[in-house]
Structures are given as structure tokens and as C-alpha cells.
Structure 1
């Protein structure tokens, strides 16, 4: 074999080796990326998130709840009454400064706010202004109707119009899939609240949970119940977030679960039939 032919074979062998070597590396890198992507998707599918929410404060009970949240190193979302924000400014500031979300629950929480769209939105904006005065910035776009989005405080046709107005304004109303019924009687025994939570939790052990609780003056027993509930949720692997933590992806998930704007989701299904 002449020298020129040997040189050609050596060069060809080297090129073949390089191609094979680069292919192995490429497949290895691609495999690593695919594996990482699969793990990320799997994590998203299995991640369990809970939102602890408290209505009707801030009050002295809110202070006690904040202490529990701080001890447990978690945060929550407080749907506040504007009048009480103005009366208990220091407590509201403490809730804000400890990383919790403060959202609108109207200014007065009275039945008369459901008279019509104008009356409701006036009350909403009054609460929003009270929160702006406290925080110095725009309030979160999440709110909760007194009594929830299916409240019996309002006539159904009027409530439907109000919900539509809220959504048209770019706001999101928040409901829940677990309640401990702490608003149905003053200072229900803590063990009854915890028992109610466990029954609901067993029934609604889902990837997204919104727990409804209250921090009015008459909810002192919610405080000891809260600690046990947090422990149960931690033991079950839930991650704690509040409504300051909502990105577009999480917003979509909460909408799909019917925890945000649930009646609008039903309308979409009817329109798309």
C-alpha cells in the first residue's frame, strides 16, 4: 500500500472517529436535556400547593395568626375589610411586612353592597384605596366576595352582573375547596374546626388547595386549629404559597381547578359546546 493511500485511510479513520465521538456526546447532552425536561414536567405534575386564606380581618386574632405563620415559616393571604385596615393599621402592616398577601374583601362587608354593580364597585374601590394607602402600591388583582362567588347575600341576577363586572375590570375572584366553617358560630371549639378540616382534606386531597378560614374578633379558636392544620399539610408534602406568588402558569392552573373565576369557566364550557 503506498504512502498516499495509507494517509487517506488514516485521515478517513480519524474523521470517522470524530463523527462517532461527537455523536455520542450530542446524544449524551440531548439525553441529559430530555431527562431534565421530563423531571421538570414530572415535578410540575406532582407539586402540591396550598393557599391558607383568612377573611374578615385585620383584628387582634390576625396578630395571633401571624405569630403561628411565623413560627411555622409559612405565609398566607388575608382578604381584608377596608374599615378594619384603617382601624388596625399596625396589624395590617405587620401582615404585609412578614411576606403575606393582602387582598380586597370589600370595605364594609355589608349586605347592602350587593344592591347593584355601582354600589358594589364603590365599596370595592374604597377597600382598594385603604390598602393602597397602607402599602403605597397597587393592590393584588385577586379579591374575594363576602360569602364567596355564590353568596346568598345577593340576588342571583345581580350577583352574576357583579361577577362579570369584576372580571371585566381585569380582577380575579377567589373561592376555596376546603373550609373549616369557623364563621358559622363564634369561637367554635378548636377540635371541631380541626375535625372539619380533616374531613375536607381527606375529600379534597388535590394538587391545589385553597383553605378558607377567618380572622375576625370571633375566631380566636382558629388560631390553635391552624397550627395542627399546617402540620398535617406539611406532613403530606404540600408547599405553602400566597396570592403574591401567582405567575401566569399558576393562574391558569387555579382557573382550571375552578378556584379562581369559577363561574366564568362554566360559561366558557357552555359557549364552546
Structure 2
């Protein structure tokens, strides 16, 4: 009898590094670092930035990374009408589809701000909501050593870490972070790989926030 292969993250110690708010002029340096370490990541992109940086968006996908919808303008979705939420999401999915040939299959609400109504719109769009197990607050820290220490402290098996490729100190911190995590036998994977074959439903929140 044929046995299904064991999922990658059941065999290895996986972690998903996620980068929000790009693509940005610092993103190429981050991609160079990820390539050097054979690391895959997930990028939650803003539609207006994809529109102006199409080639960079294509490079992210070409190098094996995953991209998700992070809205067009980074609003707090809970403050918008349903029509405005739909506009933010569909404009972004459409420009990503035009740029890389496929629409994203997941989204991240800006600042993690979501509620039942936002979830209902995501059900309609078929987009699961990806949050995180730990945030580095790198946009606040703006310090290479602080960001590196926070990332390493938050690291855990099957963790989803929130970072930003629009923060230059984050990009500068990544070589040391990846090197340190490699020594701890981590494998750097996309959110989809982390799911180990599980399919998320539209509107579903993953990972569930801890109480």
C-alpha cells in the first residue's frame, strides 16, 4: 500500500519569516540574503507598491517566495465599509495577478486589525487571514541589534514571525538572524509549506492568536 510522504515540516524544524508593506528599495538586498541562505519567505505586498515595482514583485515570485495581499493603501480594515474593503482587496489581487500571472491566495490585515465583518468579506473573496505568532515591532525599534535579538527570541518551531522589508535595519539584521537560526537547525519556509498540506478557508485566521 502506498504511504503518503511525511510533510516537510513534520520532518524538519520549520519557521516562516514574513515581510510586510513592500516591495520597497530595500527588498533586493533582503532577497540576496535569503537566496544566499536558501531561505524561502512570505511577502505581504501593498497593491500601490506592486503597481510601481512590477519587476521586483516578479523577482520575489521567481526566487520561490510566496506573496499575499496586504491591501492597496494599508488602512485599518475594521474602519472601512464592506465596499471599501472589497475595493482595497480586489485592486491589490488584480495588480498582483497582472504582474506575476496569478492572484494571491491569502491576505494579512494591516496591523492585524480584523473583526467578524472583515472576516465575512474575506470569506466572500476566498482569502484566509494570516496573522503571526510573534511580532518584532521592527518598525518601532529601528535598531539592527534589537531586531535581531527580538527575532531570535520569538523563533519557535512552526512560528510565523512578523517583519517589514521597508525597515532598512531589518534587512541589515537578517544575515545574522538566518545564520543563528541555521545553527539551531531551522528551515525557512513559506506559510503554505508550514501548513503541511492543510487548506485554509476564506476568512479563516491562521495562526490563531494565543489567549
Label 1:232 to 1:239 Cα distance change in 2 as closer, same or farther (>3 A).
same
Label 1:102 to 1:112 Cα distance change in 2 as closer, same or farther (>3 A).
closer
User: 2:146 matched to which residue of 1?
Assistant: 192
User: 1:212 matched to which residue of 2?
Assistant: 162
Could you tell me how far apart the structure 2 residues matched to 1:64 and 1:44 are? 27
Could you tell me how far apart the structure 2 residues matched to 1:101 and 1:112 are? 23
User: 1:144 matched to which residue of 2?
Assistant: 108
Label 1:97 to 1:46 Cα distance change in 2 as closer, same or farther (>3 A).
closer
Once the two structures are TM-superposed, the CA of residue 165 in structure 1 deviates from its matched residue by: 2.2
Once the two structures are TM-superposed, the CA of residue 94 in structure 1 deviates from its matched residue by: 1.3
Aligned residues: 208
Once the two structures are TM-superposed, the CA of residue 224 in structure 1 deviates from its matched residue by: 2.0
Label 1:190 to 1:244 Cα distance change in 2 as closer, same or farther (>3 A).
same
Label 1:242 to 1:94 Cα distance change in 2 as closer, same or farther (>3 A).
same
Check whether the contact 2:23–2:56 (CA below 8 A) recurs between aligned residues.
Answer: yes
Could you tell me how far apart the structure 1 residues matched to 2:24 and 2:147 are? 20
Once the two structures are TM-superposed, the CA of residue 259 in structure 1 deviates from its matched residue by: 6.6
User: 1:27 matched to which residue of 2?
Assistant: none
User: 1:223 matched to which residue of 2?
Assistant: 171
Check whether the contact 2:9–2:193 (CA below 8 A) recurs between aligned residues.
Answer: no
Gaps of 5+ in 2: none
Q: State the TM-score, normalizing by the size of structure 2.
A: 0.85
Runs of 4+ in 1 over 4 A off after TM superposition: 43-46
1:133-174 residue CA offsets vs partner (Å, 9 max, x unmatched): 10122x2311100011xx2xx7xxxx3211122134322110
Q: State the TM-score, normalizing by the size of structure 1.
A: 0.67
Q: Which has the higher contact order (CA 8 A, sep 6+)?
A: 2
Report the structure, 1 or 2, having the larger helix content: 1
Could you tell me how far apart the structure 2 residues matched to 1:40 and 1:133 are? 35
Q: Secondary structure at the match of 1:167?
A: helix
Find out whether 1:90 has 2:55 as its counterpart.
yes
Bigger drift between 97-106 and 162-171 goes to 162-171
Please report the RMSD computed on the Cα atoms of aligned residues, expressed in angstroms. Answer: 3.1
Check whether the contact 1:83–1:127 (CA below 8 A) recurs between aligned residues.
Answer: yes
Gaps of 5+ in 1: 1-29, 253-257, 267-273
Once the two structures are TM-superposed, the CA of residue 70 in structure 1 deviates from its matched residue by: 1.0
Could you tell me how far apart the structure 2 residues matched to 1:98 and 1:44 are? 20
Once the two structures are TM-superposed, the CA of residue 87 in structure 1 deviates from its matched residue by: 1.0
Structure exhibiting the larger radius of gyration computed from Cα positions: 1
Q: 1:182 aligns with which of 138, 141, 159?
A: 138
Find out whether 1:68 has 2:68 as its counterpart.
no
Check whether the contact 2:16–2:194 (CA below 8 A) recurs between aligned residues.
Answer: no
